[in-house]
């Protein structure tokens, strides 16, 4: 019997919040910057994290381009779903 644990959505959410807080704190350590520059720095840091997470799955795929497209599409759908409450407030 496979005894691998399965993370619950609330656990995954907490990990994401902690990562966000860590990235924000590290960017803040760079010193004062305009809000747009701060957002760009945080997005760049998130992109590095995402690329590192996706890389092994893409490298293991027989069709790397397709794997990359599918994984990125999945990620963007997750991001959109998380932003939906903010978008709906318009």
User: Does 2 reside within a domain?
Assistant: no
Q: What is the pLDDT of residue 34?
A: 97
Alpha helices in the chain (DSSP H): 9-28, 35-60, 64-88
Q: What is the pLDDT of residue 6?
A: 86
User: Does 3 reside within a domain?
Assistant: no
CA distances (Å), origin 69, targets 57, 66, 72: 12, 5, 5
Q: What is the pLDDT along the chain (90 residues), one digit of tens a residue?
A: 456 778 898 999 999 999 999 999 999 999 999 999 999 999 999 999 999 999 999 999 999 999 999 999 999 999 999 999 999 997
Torsion angles phi and psi, residue 64, rounded to 5: -60, -40
Q: What is the pLDDT of residue 74?
A: 96
Q: What is the pLDDT of residue 5?
A: 72
User: Does 1 reside within a domain?
Assistant: no
Range of the domain at 60: 9-88
User: Does 81 reside within a domain?
Assistant: yes
């Amino acid at each position: 019997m496979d005894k691998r644990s399965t993370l619950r959505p609330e656990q995954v959410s907490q990990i994401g919040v902690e990562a966000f807080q860590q990235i924000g704190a590290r960017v803040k350590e760079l010193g004062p910057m305009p809000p747009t520059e701060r957002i760009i720095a945080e997005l760049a840091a998130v992109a590095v994290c995402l690329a590192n997470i996706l890389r092994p799955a893409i490298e293991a795929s027989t069709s790397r381009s397709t794997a990359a497209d599918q994984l990125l599409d999945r990620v963007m759908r997750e991001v959109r779903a998380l932003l939906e409450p903010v978008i709906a407030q318009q």
